[in-house]
Amino acid sequence: MQEKLMEICAAFRIPGRLSDWEELKVGNINKTYKVTFTRDNGFEKTYIVQQLNTYVFKNPEQVMENIEQVTRHLRAQRPGQVNLHFHHTREGKNFVWEGEHFWRLFNYVPSADAANDRDETLVRNAGAAFGDFQNALSGFDPSQLHETIPDFHNTIKRYEALEAALQQNTAARADEVKQELQWLMQAKDKACVLCDLLESGELPLRVTHNDTKVNNVLFDQKDKRALVVIDLDTVMPGLAGNDFGDAIRSVSNTAAEDEKDVGKVSCDLQLFRCFTEGFLENTAKAFTVKEIETFGASCFSMTVEVAVRFLTDYLQGDTYFHCAYPEHNLVRARAQIALAQDMQRKMDEMNRIVAECAAKYRA
C-alpha cells in the first residue's frame, strides 16, 4: 500500500518523502488514507488520499467536476473559513486514474472525533454547519451540477429497487428478512411523502449535500466549533428536508447506525431540538413554510429510505456498502427501522419543536 500511496502522491506533486500513513476507517463507500510527508528541512504536512468507489460513483470524473465548482463557490462565499482544497496533477486534473482505481488528494483538517459525541453544543454546531452549507450554496446554479447518483433520494425508486432485489434474491437471503420487509412495505406511503410533494411542485429543489451524517462535519478539537462540511460527493439538486432528515437520523440516534441491540436505538428529542435550533437559526427565513413543515416527516423518510437501501444491499449480497461481517447490512437495516419506529411515536413532538424553532428564527 505504501508504494501505491507514494505513487499517487507523486502524481499530485506532493513534495518530500512519505514519513507516515494510515488507513482511516471512516464512511461506508470510499477508502481513505491519511498520509504525512516530510521535506528535507523537516517541515511536515498531512493530506487525505481517497480512493473513490467507482461501483457507487459510475462517473467519478463528474463527481470531481462538481467538487471543483462547489469548493470554488464555498471558498468565495466563506473566504475566512476552513475549506477543502483538492490538489491537481501536472495535467491540471483533480484526480488520477491508476489502472481501474480512481484517486484524489486534499488537505487534512485536524478535528475532534465526533462519531460518538452527543454533546449538545456539538450537535447544535452541526446543525448550524449544515444550515450554513445551504445558505452558502443558495446562489449556486443547480444546472451546473452533474447528478452523480441519479435518483439518490428518490424514496419511491429505492423501494422499487428493494422489490426487484427481493424478486431476484441473488444472495438467497429473502427468507431471513420477512419481518423487516413487512414493516418497510406498510411504511412506504408515509416514507415517500417528500417525493410526492416534489412531484406535485410543492417543494423547491435546492443544491443540497445529501449525505449529512454528523461525521461529515469536522469540529475543532478544543471548543467543538464546526470547522468545515466534508464529503461533497453527493452535492446535487435535492430537498432541504433530505439534508435535515438525514442529519437527524445520525445525530439524534442514541446508538450507533449499526447497533445490534435495537433496544438501545432511539431518537433523543433534546438532541433533535439542539440540531434544529442550529439548522434553522440562519436558514428559517430562506425556507418556505411548506418546506419547514416537512422537516419532521423528512426524518422518518430518510431513516426508512436508508433502511430500504441497507436491506436491498443485503439481498443483493453486499455489493454497495462496505461490510465488516456478513449480517452487517441486515443489522444496519434493523437499527434504522427501530429508529424510524421511535420517530413515528415522537412525531407530534418533533413537529412541535420544528414549529417553535421556525417561529423563533423567522420573527
Binding site for ligand GN1 (CB under 6 A): 27-29, 56, 211, 213, 231, 233-234, 257, 306
Half-sphere exposure of 180 (CA within 13 A, CB side): 31
2, 154, 290 from 189: Cα distances, Å: 50, 13, 19
**Smallest distance from ligand GN1 to CB 217, Å:** 12
Nearer CB in complex with Mg ion: 231/342? 231
Indicate the residue among 27 and 241 with the shorter CB distance to ligand GN1: 27
Q: Which is nearer to ligand GN1, 14 or 242 (CB)?
A: 242
Residue 192 beta carbon to ligand GN1: minimum distance, rounded to whole angstroms: 17
Specify the residue, 211 or 291, whose C-beta has the smaller distance to Mg ion.
211
Q: Which residues bind Mg ion (CB under 5 A)?
A: 211, 231
Beta strands 96-98 and 101-107, pairing class: antiparallel
C-alpha cell at 64: 470531481
Length of the chain (residues) = 363
Residue 257 binding target from Mg ion, ligand GN1, none, CB below 5 to 8 Å by type: ligand GN1
Q: Give the list of residues 6+ apart from residue 202 with CB closer than 8 angstroms, or none.
A: 290
CB of 27 to ligand GN1, least distance (A): 4
Q: How far is the CB of 29 from ligand GN1 (least distance, A)?
A: 4
State how far the Cα of 107 lies from the Cα of 299, in Å rounded to an integer. Answer: 32
Q: Put residue 99 in one of left, alpha, beta given phi > 0 → left and psi -120 to 50 → alpha.
A: left
Residue 277 interface partner, choices Mg ion, ligand GN1, none, CB cut-off 5-8 Å depending on type: none
Minimum separation from the CB atom of position 216 to Mg ion (A): 7
Nearer to ligand GN1, 308 or 358 (CB): 308
Residues 84, 73 contacting (CB under 8 angstroms): no
Nearer to ligand GN1 (CB atom), residue 234 or residue 341: 234
- When CB distances are held under 5 to 8 angstroms depending on the partner's kind, the choice from ligand GN1, Mg ion, none that residue 306 binds is ligand GN1
Least separation in angstroms between CB 260 and Mg ion: 23
**DSSP H stretches of helix in 29-187:** 60-77, 120-136, 155-168, 178-186
Q: Which does residue 214 bind out of Mg ion, ligand GN1, none, counting CB within 5 to 8 angstroms by kind? A: none
Minimum Å distance from CB 28 to Mg ion? 8
Closer CB to ligand GN1, residue 310 or residue 361? Answer: 310
Residue 226: strand, helix, or coil: strand
Judged by beta carbon distances under 5 to 8 A according to partner kind, the member of ligand GN1, Mg ion, none in contact with residue 341 is none
Distance CA 357, CA 59 (A): 40
Choose among Mg ion, ligand GN1, none what residue 298 binds, the Cβ cut-off being 5 to 8 Å by kind.
none
Minimum separation from the CB atom of position 358 to ligand GN1 (A): 25
CA distance linking residue 150 with residue 30, whole number of Å: 18
Which phi and psi angles does 253 have, rounded to 5°?
Answer: -70, 125
Residue 28 contact, options Mg ion, ligand GN1, none, Cβ 5-8 Å cut-off depending on partner type = ligand GN1
Tell me how far CA of residue 180 lies from CA of 61, 224, 296, 300, 311, in angstroms: 37, 37, 23, 16, 8
Integer Cα distance of 305 and 153 in angstroms: 8
Q: Which is nearer to ligand GN1, 211 or 277 (CB)?
A: 211
Segment (H or E) for 330? helix 328-362
From ligand GN1, Mg ion, none, which one binds at residue 127 (CB under 5 to 8 Å depending on kind)?
none
